[in-house]
Structure 1
Amino acid sequence: MNQGVVVITGGQGALGSATADLALQRGWRVALIDHAPGDETAPDELTVGGVDLTDPTQAQAAMDRVAGHFGRIDALLNVAGGFVWQTTEADAPAHEKMFRLNVLTCLNAARAALPHLKRSPEGRIVNVGAAGALKADAGMGAYAASKAGVHRLTEALARELKDTTVTVNAVLPSILDTAQNRADMPDADPEDWVAPGDLAAVMLFLASPESRALRGALIPVTGRV
C-alpha cells in the first residue's frame, strides 16, 4: 500500500535509518536528507547527501529535489540534530552550536517542505524534541535549551497551520538505545532506553492520516527512564 512520500532529515543516523527501514516496510516512499555524503536513487528511496540544513538555500534545494523526484512530499520527519554535554561555565560555544543543529535544521527543513506539504491531502511535520528539555540536568543546558526551542517551534507552527490540512507534532524521547549511547554509558541498562524502531513507529503514526486530530502535541517517548 502506497502511504505517500516521507522525507527524513538526518536519515543516515541511527534513528533516521531505523525510521527509513520501517517506513519502507509500511509502504512509504522515502527520501533521506543528510549532512553525510551520499547520493543514491532507487524506485522507492532517494538519498540526498552533503546537505547543510543550517543553510536555508541548501535545505530548499534538497527538498525541491525530493519533490521533483517523487512528484510530491506528504510528510517531513525532522530527525537531524546533535547533542553535547557541557556545563554553562565552559568556554566552547555549545549554545550556538546546539541552536544551529537542533533548531535551525528543523526550521529550515520545515519552511522548505511546507509549499509541497500544503499540496498533499494531509501533510505532516514530525519534529524530534527531547524529554530532557522539560527539566534540564547539569551539563544539559545548551542541549535542553535548543530542544525547548524545537518544542515551541512545533507549537507555534501547528497554530499557524490550523486552518490547513498540515499538522505539526513532536516526539520527546529519553535515551535512545544506540551503539554510541551504549559506549558512552557502559554501566547503564539499555533495556530501560527507547529502541530506535519503537520511536520510529510513533513518528510514523504521527505522519499518517490517522493522526489528524493531533496538532502541536509534544509526546513523551521515554521507555522506562
Structure 2
Amino acid sequence: MKSQPSSSIEDYVKVIYSFTEWQDKPITSSQLALRLGVANSSVSEMVRKLKDQGLVDHQPYGAVRLTDAGTRLALTMVRRHRLLETFLVHELGYSWDEVHDEAEQLEHAVSDTFVERLAEKLGHPDRDPHGDPIPTPTGRVEHPPALRLGELDPGHEGRITRISDDDPEMLRYLAREHIVLDTAVHVVRRKPFGGPLVVRIGAGSGAHDFDVPDSIASSLWVRSDTPHEGCTLEHA
C-alpha cells in the first residue's frame, strides 16, 4: 500500500506551485527557504528527497520545478487549502486575513472524503476569499484573464479579481478602505517622480480616488470589463 506523503512534502509542493501560479518565473531554493521559513540546508535536503520521489526537477544551483506528479499533489493540497479558507470565512465568520494559518494547520488533517463533502456544502465554489481559483477534483484550474493593477495604463477599467494573501496587515488595510474582490476600479493616472498610482475605487456617487503604492498595486489583480476567455489548465 502506497504511503501518504508527509506534511512537509505537501507543504513544499504547494509552495512551489503557488509561487509560479500567477507568474512564469520559477522558484529557487533560497526563495523556497524564505517562504517556508527554514534554513537553506533544510531546503536542499528536502529538494533532493522530492527529486528522488519524482515530484520535482532540479539541477544544482538551478530553479525548482514540479513534475506532473508533483503538480497533481500540489493541486490536491491547494484545493484543500482554498476550500478550507472559504469555509472558515463563509461558515465560521473568520475575516480574510485570519484564514491562511488556520487552513495551513487543517489541510494536513482532513480526508479526501471530508474535502469533497466540504465542497458540496459550500456549493462547489470556484474561488477562495482572496480570488485564487479552487482546483476541481480532477485538477482543472481556471484562472481569470487578469493583470496586476500596477501594469495597467491610465483609463483602464475593470474589477478586482484577486488579492494576494501574503500580508495579513495589507488585507486588513484594504478591508478598511473597502477594497475587496469585485470592487470596480478605474486607473486615473500615475503621480510624477515615481509617485503612487491614482485609482478610482467603486462606482457612481460612492466612487473615490485612492493613492495606491507599488507594494499594493503589485498585489491586486484586475479583470478588464471587456470580456475575455479565461485560462484553463487540467492535470491528469
TM range (shorter): under 0.3
TM-score (norm. length: structure 2) = 0.24
TM-score (norm. length: structure 1) = 0.25
* Greater relative contact order (CA < 8 Å, ≥ 6 in sequence): 1
Q: Which protein is bigger by CA-based radius of gyration?
A: 2
